[in-house]
Structure 1
Amino acid sequence: MKIELMVIGKTSARYLQEGIDNYVKRTNYYMPFDIRYIPDIKSTKAMTEEKQKEKEGELFLNALTPGDVLVLLDERGKEMTSREFASYIDRKSVTVSKRLVFVVGGPYGFSPAMYERADDKISLSKMTFSHEMVRLFFVEQTYRAMTILRGEPYHHD
């Protein structure tokens, strides 16, 4: 199984990108992990929020391949502890044959088509974070999950 994080637009803050790159490299030691950057939609000022979500959804859905398991990082998703997330990844590593794809939506969330296609929804917190910070938090939690599964000392309860 390969894990992929799919996001809209590049990470603009250099300090966040450095952290993301660090945890992606660490995570790849345990399991194939990649980030796919979907290009920003142009001319969004003239679009309604719903139209922007629809356009972003089309880009995300077009990037999926048959057999992908789609997990939305969504505020209304299931909240988990780090250990529960590690167990989730462990279970998926047995049942997912290709890619486990996690998606961070755009500024307005996901389109109805994305919710229909999603296999699961996970919430990182009840708090709201910038989309760029969510990228760093998610890759760190994925690395943490790998160390938990290996019984390594990175995570402390």
Structure 2
Amino acid sequence: MRLHLCVVGRIRSGPERVLIDDYLKRLDRTGRPLGLGPAAEHEVEDKRGGGMEAEAALLDRACPQGAVRVMLDERGAVMTSPEFAGRLERWRDTGAQDVAFFIGGADGLAPSLRAGADAALSFGQMVWPHALARVMLAEQLYRAATILAGSPYHRV
């Protein structure tokens, strides 16, 4: 099952880029034998200043057709890492070919995009900068793969 990070904004260099690359590389090594991965980033930028709706259109185009759509949104479900791993496992086991995770820009995700979500996920009630949200998502995807692999990375 291919994983897609459909995100507003580009992270070219710096500590966030290093962490994202590291976690996605780890995910690739751990997840592929489990049928999770590869993971791809789809970075979009609204250079014309059209706001959330313009970003939504760009994100929608970046998402593979037929993908399970998961919005990262402060109003989404808060779950434990094992629950998140179980959700990925269920999608994989029920035949999902692609799962796309959406992270919006400074104003969040447009209501029209959120309305088409298959799921919404929250990293808590606090709002996180999109670069940190992307790092956290990459780490949680890797953590989910380690949980499903029975690795000691995730300790309870």
TM-score normalised by structure 2 residue count: 0.90
What whole-Å deviation, never above 9, does each CA across 1:84-107 have from its counterpart, x for those lacking one? 111111111112432100000111
Structure 1 equivalent of residue 41 of structure 2: 35
Q: Which runs of 4+ in 1 moved over 4 A?
A: none
Aligned to 1:116: 115
Give 3-state SS (helix, strand or coil) of 1:97's partner: coil
Q: How many pairs were matched up?
A: 150
Identity percentage over the alignment? 35
CA distance in structure 1 between the partners assigned to 2:141 and 2:14 by the alignment: 21
Counterpart check, 1:101 vs 2:100: yes
Instruction: Note if contact 2:42-2:62 (Cα within 8 Å) is conserved in structure 1.
Output: no
Question: Structure 1 unaligned runs (5+)?
Answer: 45-50
Query: Partner amino acid for 1:36?
Result: H
Unaligned runs of 5+ in 2: none
| Counterpart mapping for 1:4-153 below 5 A | 4-12=4-12, 14-29=14-29, 30=31, 31-32=36-37, 33-38=39-44, 40-44=45-49, 51-153=50-152
12-21 or 130-139: bigger deviation: 12-21
Q: CA deviation at 1:12?
A: 4.7
Aligned-CA RMSD value = 1.4
- Alignment partners' CA distance in 1, 2:40 and 2:4: 5
Q: What residue identity is the alignment partner of 2:153?
A: Y
3-state DSSP of counterpart to 2:128: coil
SS in 2 for 1:136: helix
Shift in Å, 1:69: 1.0
